[in-house]
Each structure stands twice: as C-alpha cells, then as structure tokens.
Amino acid sequence: MSRLASLAAVGFELSALTVGELESRSPIDGRLLGRVARVSRADYDAAVARSAEAFRSWRAVPAPRRGELVRLFGEAVRRHKPALAELITLEVGKIGSEAAGEVQEVIDICDFAVGLSRQLYGLTIASERKHHHMLERWQPLGTVGIITAFNFPMAVWCWNAALALVCGNALLWKPSEKTPLTALALHRVLESVIRDFTDAPAGLSALLHGDRPVGEWLAEDTRVPLISATGSTRMGRDVGVKVAGRFGRTLLELGGNNAMIITPSAREDLAVRAITFAAAGTAGQRCTTLRRLYVHESRYAAILARLKRAYASLRVGSPQGADTLVGPLIDRAAFEAMQAALASAKAAGGIVHHGERINVEGMSGGYYVRPALVELASPIEASLKETFAPILYVFRYASIDEAIAANNAVTQGLSSSLITQDLSEAELFLSAEGSDCGIANINIGPSGAEIGGAFGGEKETGGGREAGSDSWKAYMRRQTQTVNYSATLPLAQGVKFDIE
C-alpha cells in the first residue's frame, strides 16, 4: 500500500474513503478497498452549471495556454505514476507492467495534446466572390461528458479529457462504478493542477460517481453537447439514441470482436506471442482483445499445439506477483459470463481447452481463470458476441478471401490483424477489399494500440475515433466563415437581388 502514499499530496487517501453507497472491491481477493458517495441529481445539476460557467472563460484562454495546463497535468501524472499504477492493479487487477502501461498512455496523450494545442489548424478557402475570403475555423464546443469503462479506467478518460481541454471545453466524467477510486485519484491530480493554474476556472472538470442514472442524465442533458462513451454495445445504443434525440453529438467506442489471421507464411514464434498477449493478456478484458483466430489449414495443427502449450504454462495469479501474466477477472459476473459462453460453445460442438477457475492461495474472493481456447468448425452464437473474458475461438481456413470475409462477418468492427510474410496478402488485408475495422495491423495483434493513431471502430463498435490523428475535431465546433472586404455586396452563384 505504501506506493499509494504519494497521492496524499493531492488529497487521496484510501483509508479515508469509508462512506458512500458505491463500494469498490478488489478483484484480486474481493476485499473492500473503499467507498465513495454517489452523486445526487442536485449535485449533478450544480456540477453541470459550474462547468457551463467554467467553459465561458476557458474557451477564451489561448489554446497553447490551455495546453500548458495539460502539460502540467502530464508532469503530475509522471510523478504519481507508481501510485496510480498500483491503484489500477488493486481496483482492476491488471498486472504491474500493464497498469504502468496504462498510466503511460495517460502521459503520452497529454504530450500529444500539448503539441496539438498549437496545431488546431483550420483552412483558408478560395471565395468565388471578388474581395472575399473564406475560412474554416474550429471553435470550442462546451461541456464534454465522458463515460468510461472499468478496463481502462484512466487512459480512455484521458484520451478524451486531454484533447477536450486543449480544445477549450469543460469536462464531466462518469467513471465505471467498478473503478471509482482509480477515477478519484486521477481526478484529484487534475484538480490539484487546476487549482494552481491561474487561467483555469474552478468548475473546469467534475467527477460524477454513480451508476446508470448518471449516464442517463448526461445523455439527456442539452447542456452537454458531446457525450463520449466507452463500454458495451448495449450501453452505446442506449446513450446514442438518447443523445441523438436531442441532436447532441456522440463519440462511441463500444464492443469489439477482434480477429487475427495466421497465413501460410506467418512466422510462428511471432504469431504465438502475438496471439497469446492479445487473447490472454489483461485477462481478455480489452476492447481490442483477440477473440477470433483464423489459421490457415496448413499451419493449424502446429499453431494449435503451440498455443495449447503456451496456455497451459501461462502464469495466472495475483497481479501483484512479479511474474504473473494473467490476473483476475473483474468480478463474479464476468466469470459467470465466461463459463456460460464456454458451456454454449461446448453444446454447439466446440472443443474447449482450459477456461477453468484457478484457486490462488489466500485469494478465494478473486475470480482467476486459465484463458480458454475453443476450436470451432464454423461461427456459433457465442463467437459472434463479445464476452469480456479470455476466450479465443479458433477456426481453420483455406483461402485468404475466405479468411478476410470471416474477419468481417461480425457486427463489431474495432480491430483486426494479419500475420504474414507475403506482401500481396498484407496489402489485400489493408486495401478497400480487406479488413472493415477501424484498426488493421500486420504482424501485430489487434490490441495495444499507440495513442498517435485514431482509435475506434466501425459498425456496432460505434464509429467514434479517439486519441491521435485528427480525433480532436470531434471536440470542436466547425465554423465556416466568409469575409467581404469590398464596398459592394455581390451574391454567391450570381444571384441578383437589386433593391431600389
């Protein structure tokens, strides 16, 4: 626990978090970590009003100066990195290197946003009228509501928050009810930076603890022009429809059902490592987790044998153990969903390897499993769904066209990958006739994306793009401006409208 001590400087102390309706339990052993209060409707309304007020002054602060706030936040996160990572391990059950990696993702997006704060580029456009010019400018949007999932309790918020801040917006954050403490600690770091920053208004960012109703309040609130939500497709459909009903905007990052294709020329060691990290890493609880594997029939037996060996020796245990690779599932419901998917796969004729619960000494309150491999002849209901657990469905294929069609034959469209030494196959996969996902990788698994690229996916994944590239545009209002510096008023398209 001692690593958490640095967070006392920003007013976060686990031992003080003893009151409130929301309980945080560690997936490591089920132990109660702390409690926080759920936000009431009145508190919620007050926070939205404060954020609207904060937005009015923040939007006028020059963007590079807004970037300075984000730079200072990134610096503070660097200082608290060990503590924040420890908290992720405690509350989400990620192994040390993955927890540290998540905090690094927070730092990286801050750095990206700082650079961006001097690059919110618009366009100049040629006008058809003499002595006129046109511009496209990007303006701050307002308050951005950010709804995040348990599995990336810091990074996904920061993809949104860092960009939204440099774009001149105020923030409201509804974290997963499974990870209130991680959110609280990170938000306290931001609050401490805001407090010391002269140009930052007090209500610039608020944390709204709660469950479903808080998400609904945000979705229905016309004072919040953009809702960025990460989570299940079911949640996204709900939020998406509500926000659309009031003509608000959404940025959705929903379910994934990501595939990998192992071609005849694939390097075997690389493939096995890529598969195992992407399918079993983070205990299968990433949106980008590998869930479907298509192996060319000429390689099937060998790859499957290697995978079975690798899975049998995967070190499953407490994420605080130095050499653990697979920590616990988030909770009992996740374990039950996994077992139900495996049972239905078995009933549908699948051959299931592993997937059983593992008893870790002294941690009977945690749900530890050996990641599962399921051999299937063709898709079944379970393989078309996203079960947030380490289950990899393995198929064989004969032709590359068949494999690409199978990659695309699901309702989700987040990430995809192909392992090959064959240039034609790689280029086909990356072409218009290839993967239909938001992310397509060659010789890399579908997970573990860098923040520099736009992150998100197609179809039921929701269509939103976060983090790098030009994702910042989602957090701004596009304005087309036309300026006439002549003494007359020529009309566009040659329209005549001469008055007496």
Non-local CB neighbours of 191 within 8 Å, separated by 6+ positions: 10, 11, 205
| 280 part of the interface to ligand UN1, by CB under 6 A | no
Residue whose pair of structure tokens reads 């209130």 in the numeric block: 180
Q: Count residues contacting ligand UN1 (CB under 6 A)? A: 11
Buried b (16+ CB within 10 A) or exposed e, 395-405: bbbeebeebbe
Other CB atoms closer than 10 Å to residue 166's CB: what's the count?
Answer: 31
Could you give the 3-state DSSP secondary structure of residue 157? Answer: helix
The smaller minimum CB distance to ligand UN1, of residues 175 and 448, is found at: 448
The smaller minimum CB distance to ligand UN1, of residues 143 and 415, is found at: 415
Q: Which two tokens stand for residue 212?
A: 């479903």
Fill in the per-residue mask, 431 to 460: x = in contact with ligand UN1 (CB under 6 A), - = not in contact: ----------------xxx-----------
| 152 part of the interface to ligand UN1, by CB under 6 A | yes
Q: How far is the CB of 40 from ligand UN1 (least distance, A)?
A: 29
Question: Where does this chain touch ligand UN1 (CB under 6 A) — which range of 66-74, 113-121, 280-288, 309-317?
Answer: 280-288
Fill in the per-residue mask, 80 to 119: x = in contact with ligand UN1 (CB under 6 A), - = not in contact: -------------------------x--------------
Other CB atoms closer than 10 Å to residue 367's CB: what's the count?
Answer: 24
| 318 part of the interface to ligand UN1, by CB under 6 A | no
Indicate which single residue of 107, 116, 147, 156 sits in contact with ligand UN1 (rule: CB under 6 A). 156
How far apart CA 290 and CA 416 sit, in angstroms, is: 8
Other CB atoms closer than 10 Å to residue 416's CB: what's the count?
Answer: 29
The smaller minimum CB distance to ligand UN1, of residues 192 and 415, is found at: 415
Q: Which residues form the catalytic set?
A: 253, 287
Q: How far is the CB of 64 from ligand UN1 (least distance, A)?
A: 27
The smaller minimum CB distance to ligand UN1, of residues 36 and 92, is found at: 92
Q: How far is the CB of 289 from ligand UN1 (least distance, A)?
A: 8
Q: Which two tokens stand for residue 272?
A: 């096995």
Q: How far is the CB of 49 from ligand UN1 (least distance, A)?
A: 31
Q: How far is the CB of 23 from ligand UN1 (least distance, A)?
A: 24
Question: What is the pairing mode between strands 170-174 and 205-207?
Answer: parallel
The smaller minimum CB distance to ligand UN1, of residues 179 and 230, is found at: 230
Q: How far is the CB of 240 from ligand UN1 (least distance, A)?
A: 17
**Nearest to 373, CA basis, from 384, 360, 359, 383:** 383
Q: How far is the CB of 489 from ligand UN1 (least distance, A)?
A: 52
**Is residue 16 within 8 Å of residue 8, measured between CB atoms?**
no
Indicate which single residue of 257, 288, 412, 417 sits in contact with ligand UN1 (rule: CB under 6 A). 288
What length does the chain have?
500
Other CB atoms closer than 10 Å to residue 292's CB: what's the count?
Answer: 26
Q: Any idea what DSSP says for residue 487?
A: S
How far apart CA 311 and CA 353 sit, in angstroms, is: 9
Question: What is the pairing mode between strands 458-459 and 412-413?
Answer: antiparallel
**Is residue 299 within 8 Å of residue 262, measured between CB atoms?**
yes
| 287 part of the interface to ligand UN1, by CB under 6 A | yes
**Is residue 67 within 8 Å of residue 114, measured between CB atoms?**
yes
Contacts to ligand UN1 from residues 200-219, by CB under 6 A: none
The smaller minimum CB distance to ligand UN1, of residues 44 and 152, is found at: 152
Q: How far is the CB of 105 from ligand UN1 (least distance, A)?
A: 6
The smaller minimum CB distance to ligand UN1, of residues 10 and 279, is found at: 279
**Is residue 95 within 8 Å of residue 56, measured between CB atoms?**
no
The smaller minimum CB distance to ligand UN1, of residues 201 and 328, is found at: 328
The smaller minimum CB distance to ligand UN1, of residues 105 and 460, is found at: 105
Question: What is the pairing mode between strands 132-140 and 372-375?
Answer: unpaired
Q: What residues pair up with 392 in beta bridges, in sequence order?
A: 373
| 416 part of the interface to ligand UN1, by CB under 6 A | no
DSSP assignment of 336-392 equals HHHHHHHHHHHHTT-EEE---EEPPTT-TTSBEE--EEEE-SS--GGGGS--SSSEE
| 151 part of the interface to ligand UN1, by CB under 6 A | yes
Q: What residues pair up with 258 in beta bridges, in sequence order?
A: 290
Q: How far is the CB of 151 from ligand UN1 (least distance, A)?
A: 5
Question: Where does this chain touch ligand UN1 (CB under 6 A) — which range of 111-119, 281-289, 324-332, 362-370?
Answer: 281-289
How far apart CA 182 and CA 163 sit, in angstroms, is: 20
| 230 part of the interface to ligand UN1, by CB under 6 A | yes
| 387 part of the interface to ligand UN1, by CB under 6 A | no
How far apart CA 89 and CA 103 sit, in angstroms, is: 11
| 263 part of the interface to ligand UN1, by CB under 6 A | no
Could you give the 3-state DSSP secondary structure of residue 447? Answer: coil
Could you give the 3-state DSSP secondary structure of residue 71? Answer: helix
Please give the residue ranges that form the binding site for ligand UN1 (CB under 6 A): 105, 151-152, 156, 230, 286-288, 447-449
